[in-house]
Structure 1
């Protein structure tokens, strides 16, 4: 899994971090920069996934595919990676967002095949 994350991070200079997280917040694999806390990354990812899943179920219907959060400096992009895991990516800018979404989906597809 780590090599898939490393490959994903190499697809764009704008990717700062990526991790595969279980839906209960445990980090399965990560490619995070030094100083970024893995436990916090996992806990926040799980919390966002929970809120997103509940929102979709109660308001929009269907199944959650992606969550995208934009700040003044970065994006957090999350994608379902099987029934019990989430791929979370932090991206510096939005210039390559469509390409990144495609790369994230490709990484998720690889992870689902392995899991």
Structure 2
């Protein structure tokens, strides 16, 4: 997903609209960035939303892009972050 809210690639479930997800992701990243700066927490490394049915996890993927993952509620976040960071390294190598 681009930081401007455009979907670059997706493997979302069919019932979830890609355009809406991309727009919401950009908004969440923007809010997280502003909050982190205003509260003097430095640069945003990740955005995490925990819902009753699972997590939405976003990481910067470099060059104005981000990686977003949806998980179920029993996902092991440490492993999710590890896999996402590996994926980000792969993404950065092709951008």
- How would you bin the TM-score normalised by the shorter chain? over 0.9
Gaps spanning 5+ residues in structure 2: where?
none
Counterpart in the other structure of 1:42: 22
- Equivalent position to 1:87, from 31, 54, 67: 67
Q: Secondary structure at the match of 2:10?
A: strand
Q: Distance in 1 between matches of 2:49 and 2:63?
A: 22
- Which one has a larger percent strand, Structure 1 or Structure 2? 1
Gaps spanning 5+ residues in structure 1: where?
1-20
What RMSD over aligned residues (CA atoms) do the two structures have, in Å?
1.1
Deviation at 1:114, TM superposition (A): 0.8
Q: What TM-score comes out, normalization by structure 1 length?
A: 0.78
Counterpart in the other structure of 1:72: 52
Following TM superposition, the consecutive aligned residue runs of length 4 or more in structure 1 with deviations greater than 4 angstroms are none
Deviation at 1:83, TM superposition (A): 3.5
Q: What TM-score comes out, normalization by structure 2 length?
A: 0.93
Is the 8 Å Cα contact of residues 75 and 94 (structure 1) preserved in structure 2?
no
What is the aligned residue count? 95
Greater relative contact order, per chain length (Cα 8 Å cut-off, separation 6+): 1
